[in-house]
Amino acid sequence: MRKRGLLVALVALGLGLVAAPAIFQMWSRAPKGAVMLDEFRPYMTERKIASFQDYMRQIDAAVEETDEHLRPYVAENAGIDDAEFATRFAEFDDFTEEWPAIDADMSDMLVRVRASVDNYEAVDALPPFDLFPWFFVVPGALIASLAGFKLWRPQSGATSLWVLVALGIGLIAAPFVFQMFSRAPKGAEMMDEFTTIETRPRVQTMQGYFSSMAIGEGSIRLGIIPALHDEAGLTDEQIAEQFPAVSELHDNWITIINEMTPMIGAMSDNVDNYEAIKALPPFTLFPFFFVLPGVIVAALAGLALRRERPRPHDRAAAEPVREHAFDAAEQRGAPVMTGRHRLRAAAGMLALVFIVASTAAVAGAASAQSTKPRKLVGTFELTPGTCDASGAASGSYFRMVLVGGTVDNGPFFANPDSTCADKTYIPAAPGTDGGLITGRYQRQPDPAFDGTGNSLAAGIIEPQAFTAIDFSVSTNPTEPQTGDKVPKPTIRVKRKKLTGDLRAVTASWNNEDFSQGSPKPDGSRPGLTTRVTGTYDARSGEFTLEWASQIVGGPFNDFTGIWHWEGTFEKK
């Protein structure tokens, strides 16, 4: 092959490397890999996985101890036989039936994740994923530029060819320097292991397990242990001595929630990121993406060096050939738009603009004559939620739809800490501000949580217990979960009907924030999210406000919060 052909091949190879990240969509996929590795880092350690496995052991031991020892004890010492136990603690009985399947599935998942810790550490030791596209673009641009320069200036000497040889050797060396031949296959093993773990259905199953475990623990904490106190006459010390597994779970439940729910959140938030990495070429091929181009570059540049011969200065040959081109249309005298044609087109456009503007003005005038929605600026003072005879809540309350449910029919999350017989209703009590204030923000305090993850926001509603940890709501100029700037809460009334923009509403729980307004901070209404609607009586000030907001991201991803607030509006 002649030297010119070798240089053309080098230019093509360099441009191929530059194009590779775009072809494999690395610019969008590689940063997602970096995010996944970062968010998994706190959980991908032997110690952390071992602690999760210990939590599973604690729950299993408490379930076994309750069935084998506690039930016979309360039957003998508190007069609560099996039939009454099953009636009074029905949620616990339901949980014990589900637990073997939950335990087997969760334990298997943790074993597999623990086996992937070494593989994760190998991948995490590679250069940052978001830099990977540049490892192709930068060498490729240099190769194409140097080879192109040599094509343009053949007499420029051999320096550019020697640099190309060095670049080729550098590409060959890179996988060895970064230990890609050992680390990349481990990355492939990790990705294969996560194929059945990091999927949306599997994560949703884990979310359902959390709901079941919360109900089971709530039955122990709020039903069985009080029965041991009140009806069996046991003290906390005696319970710990007689039923150590039940006592251990009771003592450690908040720690379990604090640590396991963020893990579920990380799994949920990274399903799409995992899919993006999985769509990249196999990890095992990554070293060869450097070695093969490196060998080719070094070989082609070396061959070109062998054909490099000193030649006499030839100005005419060195100068690039310049060809003068002329506009074919100008040569042929192609027709162009005349001034008269332009005037006619402009007049037509002006007429069209006039018609549109006139129509809009007429429509605007007609609209102005109709009743305009008006803002209600003041405090929507909440009526406290109470439990009615049916076991549901009236007044102000909150419910949460499980994944795959509907706003009207659920299924709904059963909060063991609810004061209602129907645990899917969580009554709300007005906070220190009396309720929701429009026209200004009711911000989260700083800090927003206490040491165990309880929300400290208390302006709109009083913090309410949710699986042993308090949640609450606030409105903030920057929505904490998304980081988006959002407007102040707005409620409007027209013919006694309320509408509003409550994108600033955020729920906080267990050191996490969840966008719970409508629309979402970006103006969208994903999934089951509904518009803010309600009613208003101007004479009495009585109102109702309702909306649903689907959670996006975190441990409750795709769950939906349903908010029903009612009370009296006090104008500012």
pLDDT confidence tier of residue 304, bands split at 50, 70 and 90? confident
Domains in the chain: boundaries: 379-571
Question: What is the per-residue pLDDT for 362?
Answer: 34
Predicted confidence (pLDDT) at residue 375 exceeds the cutoff of 80: yes
CB burial string 132-164: b at 16+ within 10 A, e below: bbebbbebbebbbebbbebeeeeeeeeebbeeb
Which pLDDT score, from 0 to 100, does residue 156 have? 79
pLDDT tens per residue across span 272-283: 999 999 998 888
443-497 pLDDT, tens per residue? 999 999 999 999 999 999 999 999 999 999 999 999 999 999 999 999 999 999 9
Distance CA 15, CA 136 (A): 10
pLDDT of residue 153: 85
Measured between alpha carbons, how far is residue 372 from residues 253, 368, 375, 558, 572 in Å? 53, 7, 10, 36, 20
In the prediction, which pLDDT does 158 show?
85
Q: Which two tokens stand for residue 30?
A: 């590689």
Structure confidence at residue 305 as a pLDDT band (50, 70, 90)? confident
**Helices H, strands E: what count in the chain?**
19, 17
> What per-residue confidence (pLDDT) applies to 1?
57
Of 345 and 431, the one with more pLDDT: 431
Phi, psi of 159 (to 5 degrees): -60, -50
pLDDT value at residue 332:
47
7 vs 449, higher pLDDT: 449
Model pLDDT, residue 321: 42
CA distances from 441 to 12, 320, 528 (A): 58, 68, 25
Indicate if the pLDDT at residue 148 is higher than 80: yes
Instruction: Retrieve residue 241's tokens.
Output: 């001595």
Share of the chain above pLDDT 90, in %: 76
Task: Give me the phi and psi of 134, to 5 degrees please.
Answer: -70, -25
Question: Which pLDDT score, from 0 to 100, does residue 169 have?
Answer: 94
pLDDT at 310: 55
Mean pLDDT of the region 292-299: 92
> Which of 69-78, 145-154, 530-539 has maximum average pLDDT?
530-539
pLDDT of 58 higher than 70: yes
pLDDT classification of 358: cutoffs 50, 70, 90? very low
Mean residue pLDDT across the chain: 88
What is the pLDDT at residue 157?
A: 79
Per-residue confidence at 350, pLDDT binned at 50, 70, 90? very low
Mean pLDDT of the region 173-202: 92
Residue 547's pLDDT band (cuts 50, 70, 90): very high
Least Cα distance to 271 among 552, 23, 42 occurs for 552
- What confidence category does residue 309 fall into, taking pLDDT thresholds of 50, 70 and 90? low
Query: Residue 62 pLDDT > 50, yes or no?
Result: yes
CA atoms within 13 A on the CB side of 473: 27
Q: How far is CA 484 from CA 95, 141, 317, 476, 520, in A?
A: 40, 37, 61, 10, 10
Q: Quick one: pLDDT at residue 302?
A: 87
The reported pTM is 0.79
Residue pLDDT, tens place only, 68-100: 999 999 999 999 999 999 999 998 999 999 999
Q: Is the pLDDT assigned to residue 311 strictly greater than 80?
A: no
Looking at per-residue pLDDT, the higher value among 86 and 356 belongs to 86
Least reliable range by pLDDT among 122-126, 275-279, 317-321: 317-321
Residue 43 pLDDT > 80, yes or no?
Answer: yes
d(CA 509, CA 466): 8
